[in-house]
Structure 1
Amino acid sequence: MSTVPISKLSELQGNAHNLRNVCVLAHVDHGKTTLTDSLLSTNGIISSRLAGKVRYLDSRQDEQERGITMESSGVSLYFKVLDRSCPIPPTETKSLVGEPQKPQEFKCTEYLINLIDSPGHIDFSSEVSSASRLSDGALILIDVVEGVCTQTISVLRQAWLEEVKTVLVINKIDRLITELQMTPSEAYVHIQQLIEQANAVLAGFWESDRMASADKKLQKNKKQTEDSQEEPEHIADTLGKLSISTAEWSLEEKDDSHIYYDPSKGNVIFGSATDGWAFRTIDFAHILSKKMSLGTPEKLVQVLWGDFYLDPKNKKRVLTTKQFNKLYRSGGSFSYPNAQPLFVQLILSSIWKVYEAVVLSTDQEQIDKIITSLDLKINPRDRKIKDPKTLVSIIMRTWLPLAQTCMLSIVDQLPSPEKAQKIRIPALVKGKSNIKSGPIYNSLLSCDPQSPSVAYIGKMLAFPKAQLPENVVKSERLRLTAKEMRARGREHTPKPKETNESTNSSNDPTSQPRNESRGSESNLDSESGSKDFKDEEVLIGFARLYSGVLKTGDQVFCLDPRYKPKKPNSSNFRKAKILGLYIFMGSELVCVDKVYPGCIFGVRGLEKAISSSGTITSEIKGCPNLSPLHFEGAPIVRVAVEPANPANLPKLVEGLKILRDSDSCVRVEHNNSGEYILITAGELHLERCIKDLHERFAKCEINVSKPRVPFRETIVNAPGMPNALKILNGPGFGTLTSKYRALNTENKPSASLDKLSSPLLSEKEKLKSPVLESSVDQRGFISVFTPNKYAAVHLSVQPLNSDAISFLISSKSKLSHLFTKPRHSKHIDHKSKIPNKENKGDFVDGSSDLVSENHLPENSETVEETSLPESSLLDETNTFTIPELENLNESVKEEVSVEKKEKNKTVASNVAANSGKASDQKAEMLDTLKKMMKKDKFWEKRSQDLESLSVKSFGPHHSGPNVLFTRKTSNLSIFGHKINICDLSRKESTLDADNNHNSNEELFKIGENLQSNFNISTLVKHIEHAIDSGFQLATRSGPLCNEPTVGLACTIHQIDFNLDDKEDPAIIKSVLSTIYGQLISTVRDAIREAILMWSPRLMLAMFDCEIQSSADVLGKTYSVISRHKGRIVSEEIIEGTPYFKIQARIPVVESFGFTDEMRKRTSGGAQPLLVYSGFEMFDVDPFWVPNTEEELEDLGEIADHENLARVYMDGVRRSKGLFVERKIVTHAEKQRTLKR
């Protein structure tokens, strides 16, 4: 444990100016935990010689076994800096004769550094998101040999998005000497190229943000110009035909020098975490300025990096490249051809000499000479160590200590919370409904301790209740100083006249005085009432305080990420009481009474009020809601989990809840079949989750299914297989088209129908299939009846080309905004900002029934992220009444009334303008979509049909890459009248704008007996909603394996209703009560069957795989990739190294066991990194069987090799309980019974 008293750490928390919050980010195996161990050694937590071996912050057993970090861990470190410019004046004291004079004392500045070590594996990217949100600065480690890798770019992007200032640490420089055996000059060029690569990544981020901000500015100016109808001086942009004001050209003059890494600025550290040494150029500038008299350190540091040379004749003068060439180049030759830059000559050469003397060629005389010249204080016993690696580590660690260099860099380069929050808070407060001004917002900017407290929970940590500081005597003692421990001992010393009972009670470390000192809330048994105290887990919030002071026992409001400060809703925030505050010390927690702004801390008591992450505040009125975390990786791997003993199901459900809350990258689904589906980011993440569920959270035996991965379904313009429906649904299944034709050609008797339906069935002969106007074939066209035979739908399905699909995917958010109506909840009064008292909140459950809410837009993220059943997982505090909400509502009412008076004057004009702009945006998007579609030859032939199409909806979830079209000739036939669907939509929008509900005559004339019983406009809307719902269901689960579809263009040609307006309204009302639901299922089945008229394809989820491999194991690497159905994308040698960088793509379904097999086959010589990259079409028909003579001759009636697409499809169908065609017995006549 730390040698620094906890009281000292608590004291330093109160000074935000001397506080630093830092995380360590890097690619996997680039040395994060080793570096962190060295920093821990400065506080005496571990020995400096054990740094990198202990892996102190990797407290999990599986982390130690695998040698990688899986969870972010925090620790608070004390660091003291001497200010040599401010000596303390000596006090007047008498000294004895002959006593040596005391050295001059200097002023010290004390700092508290909250350090977070984060994982580097892509499966745990959510931990990186949490660490970067809580920190103000970051150390970015890069292996000097491997260079900038995929995950390096990811962590740089994460730091960029969170406005976190970074320091670059170039690690493992010893590998350039011992492994690659480079000269100092070669190493300098290699390091220079590496820094340029890192800067190129930052330049890409800067340029992207600059272009986005410029685009916003142009749009804003364009809007202002349109509103004012004034034309300023501008330059005509001939390419985009865009007006650009002269003031806007200043965007190209922005300075970006502050974002780059430059050793002369001090934001680059060179070192080796394994050997425990590091340096910055400023460190050598202080040494060389005194030793060589080359000027002040501030001036010297500017020339130690770059093309600057020491004058060979005048050793006290530094020359630039131009000056050096002018003085020492005559003709084509140099007078000094071996001249080296200062960084090589004065820095790298010295380091190379140490390694050459100790490691490459052991020379004890040279070693002693180096130690003497560097004036290093090394024990003579250590000089005689036989292990060269240990000896060089001792020498270099004594000369250039890693911990001191990193700590000084953190203090000098990274901002304090006071400075950082002024930059970061505006980026964290996003959204039109958020509060971006006011006293609380200003206190967040200034890190004010006197304002209401506002904190952000980055993640929740599951912690055994028995190991909390309140229940561990060791942690209690460590919080006390030596004097306090002696005083405590005297208090517990038994007095002679006391009874045994009093003596025992006083000696008991868990006696009443300790409970009183911690408060009543510290008694965990009374809080939970759980019998299994040792087995119970509690959730500790990993948090950062931005303003105010938090104390144990405070009441706080926990804001959900969906909470809108300007539109408060009681379902999106909850009230909780803080039961404990802690300082993180690795795997241990230390209790504190209060925490100050800027510090990172742990908080207990919020598990029922917050899930994974969110904002907490002591004052909800006027408090902004900090934006949610940005995650790089998405959950992709699914498994079904169930207890081995059904009686343990409640334990499993509770364990899943804790797992979900403690890991923000975990999703849990409870499907209709009763299965609990666990969704994780990857194979390694899945292993960790299953282990935690089995050993910690559920504590029962668990059966886990084989991993499932998502697929997508699409169609291509290729010959299809005729027996697809029978293969999918069994031999007894008939096509909907054949049923429709049978009903059209046969006039079946209606004896089975009662009086209610018999008068209307006589009209079904009128429902004929419409003739397509297009000259091309009618492939994909289908006509179907509803089960009650009262309606028929005629539609067609055709494939979209790849350009159109990419456009729809990239425009997903715009589609959801422009083509869907706002969602309204039954429980919310949307005309007011005030929620009703009986409200349970807005409708947010993504697993809702799409049939009942078919007209509402669905958010794809919400649908994917379903939760466990309400009966088992909803918190008990879900419906309590909060008095503060009523006060908040009163204030919001006042704001609303003021806003109404101000805004009602302009609402009428703004509505018309906004509707016009929305319609223009819709038309522009549709024109772009049609242009994309015309790029394909299939749609180029159908250009006339394409121009006649208009969009009704997108799917799935109203914003996916599938389109529902209607034609200009599409009709709705009802009550003997034909209505053009396109004209109906235009009239419907007009009627909605005029709020005219008496719209029956506007559409068509109907019988007088129906006018008083039916609203035709509402009836038509219900029909359209039913058609759209069927389309949504069909695109949400395709025919192959009930997976979402991609690239479908579904066109509604005609809808026929066999209803007569002269019939009894009661009969019609009874028919209509069932026909809407039947329309949904009919349209869904029709689209699914029409898909199979084409050649269907599966789309596989893919991993981008990056592998660094040496040349001797390159062949084995390729064989493993090929065995897992991978595809090589690129291969290149890393310049200056013997390693190859291989880029490949591997299906997620084939990736299980890939990493382990790669390590085994190559003996650790190749380390793959898998990053999810989306879906890719697998161009194999799952229904293909040999048909032609050549195929039958080569492959036989059953192909010799398996159809891989069919294997994937059958595997998914089998896991979902769908029909799978398989032959159990083949050639039964050839079977025989063996003799016993």
Structure 2
Amino acid sequence: MPSIPEAELIRLQANQARVRNICILAHVDHGKTTLSDSLLASNGIISSKLAGKVRFLDSRADEQERGITMESSAISLYFKIRRRVAAASIAAAANKANAAAAAATAATAAAAMGNVTDQSNDNTTNTTTTTSTADGSAANSGTSTPSESIAEEYLINLIDSPGHVDFSGEVSTASRLCDGALVLVDAVEGVCTQTHTVLRQAWKESVRPVLVINKIDRLITELQFTPMEAYIHLNKILEQVNAVMGTFFSENVLEEDYRKKAEKKKEQEGKESTTGLEDMFSDWHVETQDDSHIYFHPSQGNVIFASAIDGWAFRVDQFAAIYAQKLGMKEGVLRKCLWGDFYLDPKTKRVIGYKGLKGRALKPLAIHLVLDNVWKVYDVVVVNPDKEMTEKVVKSLNLKLLPRDMRSKDTRAVLTNIFSQWLPLSTCVLLAVVEQLPSPPAAQKIRMPKMLHPFETTPPEPTEDWEKGMIDCDPSSGVVAYVSKMVSVPLDVLPKNKRKTLSAEEMRQRGRVQREQLIAAAKSAELGEVGVHLDVDEVLANRVQKEAEEKAAAEELEGKEALIGFSRIYSGTVRVGQKLKVLGPKYDPANPTQHCSEVTVDSLFMIMGRDLIGLDQVPAGNVFGIGGLEGHVLKYGTLWSAEWEGGQNLVGKGLETAPIVRVALEPEDPSQMAQLVRGLQLLNQADPSVQVLTQETGEHVILTSGEVHLQRCMADLRERFARIEISMSEPIVPFRETAVDAPAQIVTSSAMAVNEAQGRDQAEKLIAKSETGARGTIVATTPNRHVRFVVRTVPIPEDLKKYLLDHAEQIQTYVEDNGGNTKNNSGAAVLTGDVETGEKAKAQKKLLDELTPLFAKAGEEWKGREKDILAFGPRRVGPNLLINQLGFDFSRNRSSNSTDAAEESQGGISVQDMAESIQTGFQIATNGGPLCGEPMLGMAFFLQEIEILDNSQEAGGSGGEGRSKMAVSSGQVITSMRDACRLGFLEWSPRLMLAMYSCDIQTTAEVLGKVYAVIARRKGKILHEEMKEGTPFFSIQALLPVVESFGFSDDIRKRTSGAASPQLIFSHFEVLDMDPFWVPNTVEELEDLGEKADRDNVAKKYMDVVRKRKGLFVEQKIVEHAEKQRTLRKN
């Protein structure tokens, strides 16, 4: 098929009803890119024989080398089908189109065309009396209605996304831009971890999915299943996928039910309670919700069975169209019976159900009419090659194969040729996309209300013009677009820099002109005119000079990169030269001047994989590239019409993998630091998952999702963005510090003491354990002896700690919305302060309602203390608590009118003046614990006493002297509070918490022992092992410390000869149940382990490594037993 002209694709952009924006989602190695290749081959972009081998959308060298997709890529495809529709329907559609065209104004001509076509497309399934079969021909439905053939053209904007867990951010990018998705599942491996993740992402973004069960050929050639066994196996996969979808639906139903109950309870407050009968019927609304539309079933047309590598795919309706007339049945009825417990009675030739079997061993229709035929082709072509039978099959299917193809010794090539004519993959998939997935106007009516009101269960009716424009996908409205990521492309790929490719006719014309010039110059030379020879030389010189200039321009552009925005327009029409507002991710309509800038559209592009097509304008409903955003959009943002006031932030929270692996970078040549900084800026914009930080020490650090992601980022820096040699530190893995209720070891190392600097003796006098208080109670006095306070450190109970970790995002949103504890109110409780009515008040009440039972359950000491939380930490949102146990509120705003103010202050310093310093010390302590300076997790600090000592009266001087002494006291309170928290922490039994990967591996029984050995050697633990029924594969779930994971994937592939490949995703922090200060005490321990037991105390080893990296003191003897004689063995 010839390549589609650019003009055709650009023309279809204006016809919104004929546009489909789709993405391909799947687990790694389930066949996404192979499927994409087959779709590209249908447009003549690549050869059909290279589909699955060239991996066209994997444009990076490392993608081709590893065989996995690392970046989401987009391309626009053209699809044309012919349908047989009733003649009356055609006339009605034509009249409607004429009426709409007459009513449309010149300014909205393109939009009117889109609306006319939308009407015809939305009713495609209703007006179509026959459907296109896989080979493109129409199958008769058995009706006698006069029909004609009409052509329908579609523009399919396809985005291929990665399946590797390290690049989950790219999946969020793709799903945010699309209205539909092709979800691929390997027919052998079934539903895997990333399958679950991408289905959740599609559900969250209201993206309608179509299920593609790929690699069915493996069931035939590898597992050697019979059609019956394959049918049972495929049904199990459908059950697995539908179980996942049902889980999502149940979560929504329960959440909605909880909300309705809460509203009803609120309405009934103060009224008489309902009767028991009313309570019994109050929950019935949960059962009335219909969930049939969310499931996959072949009879609904949303399931495709495929083998992308062999180039075939089918839906059951294709076989229903073929067999309907032969069986004398209506196509619609047969389609519903072609999958499930339906059988063909050989005597009556009628379809019967399971009850009609009456003990007979009949095959289900799906096997008898569908799978048997596919298995037969594989049997005679590949499994048991038989040329005669192959020719009979080809003839019975009415296919036309060339004799040379039939004589080919490559049986797989013969198979592909047969299936490409019988059940072509591209036709089946694109037809399913057109019929099952919505157009932009239809999709935005569903998606936009949820995107604009993400926290509303029932979104309100649109009132603003921009809101109506987005929901209606109105191209004549103001511009609203979403930039999902910034894509780095070479400058020479941009259309303005690209050398124009001449057509054959243009090249012939240029040759004729040059020959005529040379002939004319030669004739003049024959006449003997003076200096005419220079004319011939000049013609040749001009040609050489022009070629040299073009070559120099290309060399100048080589290696340089430009950033374009990968975007979706929801409303309006964006044009080159238009001015737009850019709303950043932190944009808040309440502060419209912040995180907002104005930009002029520099260029627009249609993204065609590795190439870009320049555009003048892009109407609503399309995916496109936009230039001119560099310096305005960091990773993602919202484009808003400059004429509209305010704006709405469209940035959503995806399912990105938390960046857990960090490394420090520096150039090999220090003089190239500026190039490294520039390269890091480009990397930060081009990669949605990476984080680039500059430490206080000046070090440049990048955070990545995993080892593969880190390797890709380093390759980009060295080869594309910085283009210099870069040295990389050892990977830095985060730890957490916590404490448990166990006997504490004696801390003998000065490195673990509260004050590691000079003056340790003084610190011991001023900060010490309370002799009378409970465990973890510390009495601290500032060095100038002006302030004394008592802090008690307690581990947070497990249930409460789990809540704080699970609801960290909710707590962060609440604290940020309320501005945290400001300087003027830093002593007030976080959850009981005065907040505005509305959403903030609801969030405060919800947090208190959820925390109250957890605090009550924790014990008498905790009961009611949720209202006394002064701060969360570290960074004011972490899972550590500072709790006020003073008995009074010492915030500035409340104590100014308190009658106890005189008692709480002495001289010029008051307790209220210390509130901010107390909180700052708490934040510093929780951000870097005493073990190795890593953040604490799950610790509570009760502020029990605070006292201003008598000798502090001298600090109340007047003027600058008083303020100076006040500042000194505040600074000393911060350090004293920090040290008190750390010493209280050490009073308990401290533990390190390791970052853990969740590891999923699928492998065969032959290498199962080797997999276990590798996991055990890296201190992992097996959680679950299950054999996938009907397959030789085992599914293993394990936990692996991140610190031990580097090189794990390569190691396990080497040990198993490539039979096992792990998927690692960050899971949680887990306590390493080993005291880093433990040393052998008993005689047996000393005999077995020695005095230090360094080789067995893993916690101490990890702690010392981190302390050494941070430049902290490490207790390590350089020379031991120096008095012993050294014996040097000579060779």
Range of TM-score over shorter length: 0.7 to 0.9
Decide whether aligned partners of structure 1 residues 248 and 614 sit closer, same or farther in structure 2, where only a CA change above 3 A counts: farther
Deviations 1:694-721 (A, max 9, x none): 1110111100011111111001122222
What is the deviation of 1:176?
0.8
Amino acid at match of 1:1102: M
Are 1:1059 and 1:1068, in contact at CA under 8 Å, matched by a contact in 2? no
Aligned length: 1051
CA distance in 1, matches of 2:259, 2:36: 42
Instruction: Show structure 2 runs of 5+ residues with no match.
Output: 92-137, 139-146, 522-534
What is the deviation of 1:665?
0.6
CA distance in 1, matches of 2:841, 2:900: 23
**Matched residue, 1:281:** 316
**Matched residue, 2:255:** 212
CA distance in 2, matches of 1:1137, 1:919: 52
Matches within 5 A, 1:434-513: 437-473=463-499, 476-477=500-501
Are 1:417 and 1:447, in contact at CA under 8 Å, matched by a contact in 2? yes
Are 1:448 and 1:547, in contact at CA under 8 Å, matched by a contact in 2? yes
**Matched residue, 2:874:** 956
Decide whether aligned partners of structure 1 residues 370 and 467 sit closer, same or farther in structure 2, where only a CA change above 3 A counts: same
CA distance in 2, matches of 1:501, 1:628: 64
Decide whether aligned partners of structure 1 residues 264 and 820 sit closer, same or farther in structure 2, where only a CA change above 3 A counts: closer
**Matched residue, 1:600:** 623
Which moved further from structure 2: 1072-1081 or 817-826? 817-826
Decide whether aligned partners of structure 1 residues 944 and 22 sit closer, same or farther in structure 2, where only a CA change above 3 A counts: closer
What is the deviation of 1:1072?
1.8
**Matched residue, 1:782:** 778
CA distance in 2, matches of 1:1091, 1:725: 16
Instruction: Look up the SS of the partner of 1:561 in the other structure.
Output: coil
Instruction: Look up the SS of the partner of 1:283 in the other structure.
Output: helix
Matches within 5 A, 1:147-546: 147-226=190-269, 234=274, 249-290=284-325, 292-315=326-349, 317-322=350-355, 324-325=356-357, 329=358, 334=359, 336-337=360-361, 339-430=362-453, 437-473=463-499, 476-477=500-501, 533-546=557-570
What is the deviation of 1:1055?
2.0
What is the deviation of 1:930?
2.6
What is the deviation of 1:1234?
5.6
CA distance in 2, matches of 1:68, 1:379: 35
Deviations 1:264-308 (A, max 9, x none): 010000010111111000111111123x23312222101101100
Deviations 1:165-198 (A, max 9, x none): 0100000111111111111111111101110110
**Matched residue, 1:800:** 796
**Matched residue, 2:177:** 134
Instruction: Look up the SS of the partner of 1:660 in the other structure.
Output: helix
CA distance in 2, matches of 1:573, 1:560: 6
**Matched residue, 1:875:** none
Are 2:85 and 2:148, in contact at CA under 8 Å, matched by a contact in 1? no
Is it true that 1:1118 corresponds to 2:1012 in the alignment? yes
CA distance in 1, matches of 2:513, 2:783: 86
Amino acid at match of 1:544: R
Amino acid at match of 2:968: T
Deviations 1:523-561 (A, max 9, x none): x99xxxx99643321101111111211121111111112
What is the deviation of 1:84?
2.0
Is it true that 1:1150 corresponds to 2:1044 in the alignment? yes
Amino acid at match of 2:488: A
Q: 2:935 aligns with which of 1044, 1052, 1055?
A: 1044
Decide whether aligned partners of structure 1 residues 311 and 1021 sit closer, same or farther in structure 2, where only a CA change above 3 A counts: same
What is the deviation of 1:1001?
5.3
Are 2:487 and 2:566, in contact at CA under 8 Å, matched by a contact in 1? yes
Instruction: Look up the SS of the partner of 2:1061 in the other structure.
Output: strand
Deviations 1:947-977 (A, max 9, x none): 789433322233322222333xxxxxxxxxx
CA distance in 2, matches of 1:549, 1:677: 40
Are 2:818 and 2:835, in contact at CA under 8 Å, matched by a contact in 1? no
What is the deviation of 1:1020?
3.0
Amino acid at match of 2:1077: F
CA distance in 2, matches of 1:1139, 1:293: 40
Decide whether aligned partners of structure 1 residues 308 and 1075 sit closer, same or farther in structure 2, where only a CA change above 3 A counts: same
Decide whether aligned partners of structure 1 residues 673 and 602 sit closer, same or farther in structure 2, where only a CA change above 3 A counts: same
What is the deviation of 1:1043?
1.0
Are 1:234 and 1:246, in contact at CA under 8 Å, matched by a contact in 2? no
Deviations 1:576-602 (A, max 9, x none): 111111111111111122112111111
What is the deviation of 1:1069?
4.6
Decide whether aligned partners of structure 1 residues 488 and 1059 sit closer, same or farther in structure 2, where only a CA change above 3 A counts: farther
**Matched residue, 1:891:** none
Q: 2:957 aligns with which of 1059, 1065, 1070?
A: 1065
Are 1:494 and 1:507, in contact at CA under 8 Å, matched by a contact in 2? no
Deviations 1:400-436 (A, max 9, x none): 1111100100011010111011111111113689995
Decide whether aligned partners of structure 1 residues 592 and 732 sit closer, same or farther in structure 2, where only a CA change above 3 A counts: closer
**Matched residue, 1:929:** 854
Amino acid at match of 1:181: Q
What is the deviation of 1:351?
0.8
**Matched residue, 1:61:** 61
What is the deviation of 1:655?
0.3
**Matched residue, 2:104:** none
Are 2:754 and 2:983, in contact at CA under 8 Å, matched by a contact in 1? no
Instruction: Look up the SS of the partner of 2:1062 in the other structure.
Output: strand
Matches within 5 A, 1:104-143: 106-143=149-186
CA distance in 1, matches of 2:1073, 2:556: 55
Q: 1:569 aligns with which of 548, 568, 592?
A: 592
Is it true that 1:715 corresponds to 2:733 in the alignment? no
Amino acid at match of 1:29: D
CA distance in 2, matches of 1:1102, 1:852: 40
Decide whether aligned partners of structure 1 residues 196 and 735 sit closer, same or farther in structure 2, where only a CA change above 3 A counts: farther
CA distance in 2, matches of 1:789, 1:909: 35
**Matched residue, 1:877:** none
Q: 1:580 aligns with which of 581, 603, 608?
A: 603
Instruction: Look up the SS of the partner of 1:1222 in the other structure.
Output: coil
CA distance in 1, matches of 2:564, 2:1053: 36
Amino acid at match of 2:41: S
**Matched residue, 2:44:** 44
Deviations 1:1123-1144 (A, max 9, x none): 1111000111100011111111
Deviations 1:612-664 (A, max 9, x none): 11111223425432132413311110000000111000000000000000111
What is the deviation of 1:1077?
1.3
Amino acid at match of 1:319: I
Instruction: Look up the SS of the partner of 1:609 in the other structure.
Output: coil
Which moved further from structure 2: 649-658 or 464-473? 464-473
Deviations 1:455-500 (A, max 9, x none): 1111111111123221121xx338xx87888889999998789989
Is it true that 1:1229 corresponds to 2:1127 in the alignment? no
Instruction: Look up the SS of the partner of 1:1003 in the other structure.
Output: coil
Instruction: Look up the SS of the partner of 1:540 in the other structure.
Output: strand
Decide whether aligned partners of structure 1 residues 815 and 407 sit closer, same or farther in structure 2, where only a CA change above 3 A counts: closer
Instruction: Look up the SS of the partner of 1:983 in the other structure.
Output: coil
Percent of residue pairs bearing the same amino acid type: 44
Are 1:854 and 1:1029, in contact at CA under 8 Å, matched by a contact in 2? no
**Matched residue, 2:94:** none
Instruction: Show structure 1 runs of 5+ residues with no match.
Output: 90-102, 238-242, 516-523, 745-767, 827-850, 860-907, 935-942, 968-980, 992-996
Decide whether aligned partners of structure 1 residues 278 and 916 sit closer, same or farther in structure 2, where only a CA change above 3 A counts: closer
Q: 2:923 aligns with which of 1023, 1027, 1032?
A: 1032
CA distance in 2, matches of 1:1005, 1:852: 21
CA distance in 1, matches of 2:472, 2:839: 38
Amino acid at match of 1:1220: V
Decide whether aligned partners of structure 1 residues 852 and 378 sit closer, same or farther in structure 2, where only a CA change above 3 A counts: farther
